[in-house]
Structure 1
Amino acid sequence: MIRKFVSNLEDENHPLLAPTLWGLKTWGLWQPIKGLNSTFHNLIHIAAVLFVISQYIELWNIRSDLALALQNLSVTMLSTVCVVKAGTFVFWQRSWTQIINYVSSLEISQLSTSDSITGGVIGKYTKYSRRVTYFYWHLVAGTVLTLILAPLAALAMSSEVRGRASNDSASYPEIMSSWAPFDRSRGFGYWIIYVEQASICFYGGGIVAMYDSNAVVLMNFFAGQMELLSINCSRLFENDEELSNVDAMLRIENCYKHHMSLIKHCKILNSVLSPVMFLYVVICSLMICASAIQLTTDSTTSMEKIRISEYLVALIAQLFLYCWHSNEVLTMSSKVDDGVYKSDWWTRDVKIRRNVLLLGGQLRKTIFFTAGPFADLNLPTFIAILRGSYSYYTLLSKKED
């Protein structure tokens, strides 16, 4: 059944992006056709923004209680990132559509040549992209289910919690903390809020899964295309005896245009990703730190520790996916000019060799993604964030003692 569902996601018009485009459409991020459906999805996005505002109101109300504030903060920050991802994707729809159309049209034209080497490279990074996409979807789904079911499990397993709640000495456990204009601690009000928060978790999980998987697959595309470009450069002068200068110049020109188009669309992708990743990198340290403090607090129950652990793993995995694949793009872009020097450039005349030299200079331009104007998105940044989170955790732990 799962295999049939996965196979139905494939689309020959989008060889690489078919599954992620299905997800983006389902959660109302990609709206190629404006109409009633897009209006409905935009209303849901607006409702999610209002819910995040209610989380900040609640955070202000409970600011004097450090434990509750940290619990609220760790989830509120992630909710903020979710609505920012949804809002920027819809707002910058034209840029995203330009990138998506470029990726699909380029792959279709490359696959139409029936070149075995080209098909092999595209097939390799497409297969890898599918694995990363489905793995990440499963990870996010597991995190969402854990968040939704943890309060019910705690309520079902603990008679003490139910007893205290019935005596007005404690409230039922919640998925997250948010403000409401009525009593949400127990009774009918609690179940209204629970359904609302469960729906928001489902919405937010879908936004995170689809947005992130799409971004990571696009990064993988650019890394794969850099590898293919390097291979094509090494094949510039294949069939040397039969290759005329005109044909050689045409091959050099195609490699040059290929690289220029990759740089152009990488810059477009970075322009829509960088502000979001800047926000995420800034608050990721706080979220990891807050989750770590909750895990080491004696008042945290076993069920809450399981929920927080799953949440913490998802946070780190999400950040790692971005930093790893962005680092791969940087690494491949710095190696792409090696292909030029692997070719039989010395067998050609002076005019061709001059153009090969110019091509090599062009290919030395590296491609990288940033998290705002202050940080590159790579593995050193990932390590720095983890170190920063540990520093914040140590500082807050000492203050708490």
Structure 2
Amino acid sequence: MDTRALGDTTLLYSHQDKPRIPDLFVAQIIFLKATGQIPMNFGYGLGYGFCFIIIIQSLHMAVLFLKTAYDKLLDGELEEITDALTMSIIFSFSVYAGCYWLLRWQRLLAFLQCISHHYWHHSLPGLSFVCWHRTFVLAKRVTIAWTLACVAGTVLYGLGPLVMGAHVLPLKCWYPFDPLQPYVYELVYALQLSAQIIMGATLGNCSALFVSLIILMCGQFDVLYCSLKNLNYYGRLRACCEVEKLRNEQAALPKISDDELNQYMYCREHLTNLSTLQHLYTQEPAVTLPKALHMAVVQCVQLHRFILDVCKEFEELFNPFCLVKSMQVTLQLCLLVFIGVALLLQGERSTVRILNLAQYAILTFIEVLMFTYFGELLRGHSVRCDEAFGRSQWWTHSVAIRKDILILLANSKRAVRLTAGKFYAMDVERLRSVSVGNVILVLSFIVEWRWSESNL
């Protein structure tokens, strides 16, 4: 149990402590606007014009690589074909992501505003409480760190020719003219580099938005579970009864090392200032203990309904995106692993090329892990209401809150499930299938290569 106070308890439990969309989602909105997925605020036409320019930059690279892949299918080597296909998939999905959120940006902003308006900053007070701050910081850090990592990866790939002093383009694709001639080279290089940066920011921020929303929702489940745990204590505090006994119980709470592990996903528990709360509640109309307990359970039911409604809208908003995203990362990872193994078996000596492929493969695998692992976390964490009830000693007041408890427990049996186009869940099973598929691909390639080498 963390014994450090979190600022003024009067403010902590006042109605002035409300989240706002610039606070909860400022990093996500900035990146969405910068990558043209949400129109800028400088006019309707100009905003959409900026979005179309950003999308066209990725679109023209996708078209060029598709043309390159088609040409290489006729007379190119296998590595050149897979290289062109990989970049075609990456830029094509960047175009899809930009268009998808540009068409649904109003629904997305309404969704984020709904979360900001109803998001609980803290649990119901008891001997202890949890607050939202840690989940907010974690979600913001994930968004910034992952997006910058994706942008840095694409920038390092794009700056390779400049670092080595070679007069070549970072992306080798077909052009209807000679891109290496003077002045044209500089323009084409700038277009390729800007398209790479936009692509990295688009892919990174879409994944970070998905993960940060799950982190925030897991934080709301933490707030709900702590509120359920505090039912008995909140009722006694609100009814202003046995306050001295509550102080003694608070002093006997276990230390951090002795406390129960895994009660909460992300939030940390802090001790409550009972004196301040007692003073606040004595200024409000007196209520009986059964009525206070009923009020507490009703608030918990409302919070649980809010979380389930948000998760339902989350699923509706993201399941088409997750379907295409799942296919993109699966194909992309297969191609990258295939190219990497082929280069290693053939004794590739270009360190820059190996590092670039490794970097793309690592970022792609981390992205698969983010979607599947966090989807699994949300599913597993959404069905723990009965555990929180078990810590609340609700049975001592079962007559007063029996009906409310039955409603909440009935709703808590529905696990939150995020899917890809309603076809399959984004969970650890999906990660396992992708990993097994890549292992089979690598093994089959090694066996085929060894067999063909032995025949020679």
Shorter-chain TM-score category? 0.7 to 0.9
Deviation track 1:282-311 (CA, whole Å, cap 9, x = no partner) reads 232322222223223135622111111111
1:310 matched residue in structure 2: 359
Tell me how far apart the structure 1 counterparts of residues 314 and 60 of structure 2 sit (CA, whole Å).
Answer: 28
Aligned with 2:313 (options 268, 272, 286) = 268
- Please show how residues 1-400 of structure 1 align to structure 2 within 5 Å: 13-31=21-39, 35-47=44-56, 48-64=58-74, 65=76, 66-107=78-119, 110=121, 120-156=130-166, 172=168, 174-184=169-179, 188-241=183-236, 242=239, 243-296=288-341, 297=343, 298=346, 299=348, 301-350=350-399, 352-399=401-448
Structure 1 pair 399–286 and aligned structure 2 pair: CA distance change class (3 A)? farther
Tell me how far apart the structure 2 counterparts of residues 75 and 398 of structure 1 sit (CA, whole Å).
Answer: 27
Structure 1 pair 339–56 and aligned structure 2 pair: CA distance change class (3 A)? same
Equivalent pairs, count: 374
Aligned partner of 1:87: which letter? Answer: C
Aligned partner of 1:124: which letter? Answer: R
Structure 1 pair 333–22 and aligned structure 2 pair: CA distance change class (3 A)? same
Tell me how far apart the structure 2 counterparts of residues 186 and 71 of structure 1 sit (CA, whole Å).
Answer: 24
Structure 1 pair 88–186 and aligned structure 2 pair: CA distance change class (3 A)? same
RMSD: 2.7
Which structure is larger by alpha-carbon Rg, 1 or 2?
Answer: 2
Shift of 1:398: 4.4
Instruction: Extract unaligned runs of 5+ from structure 2.
Output: 1-18, 240-287
Structure 1 pair 103–336 and aligned structure 2 pair: CA distance change class (3 A)? same
Structure 1 pair 92–140 and aligned structure 2 pair: CA distance change class (3 A)? same
Shift of 1:190: 4.2
Structure 1 pair 397–84 and aligned structure 2 pair: CA distance change class (3 A)? farther
Tell me how far apart the structure 2 counterparts of residues 22 and 113 of structure 1 sit (CA, whole Å).
Answer: 33
TM-score of the two chains, using structure 2 as the length reference: 0.74
Q: Would the aligned equivalents of 1:229 and 1:258 in 2 still touch at CA under 8 Å?
A: yes
Structure 1 pair 22–252 and aligned structure 2 pair: CA distance change class (3 A)? same
Shift of 1:244: 3.7
Shift of 1:186: 5.9
Shift of 1:21: 1.8
Shift of 1:225: 0.6
Shift of 1:154: 4.6
Shift of 1:104: 1.6
Shift of 1:279: 1.8
Tell me how far apart the structure 2 counterparts of residues 114 and 72 of structure 1 sit (CA, whole Å).
Answer: 58
Higher percent of residues as helix: 1
Instruction: Extract unaligned runs of 5+ from structure 1.
Output: 1-10, 157-161, 163-171
Tell me how far apart the structure 2 counterparts of residues 134 and 276 of structure 1 sit (CA, whole Å).
Answer: 21
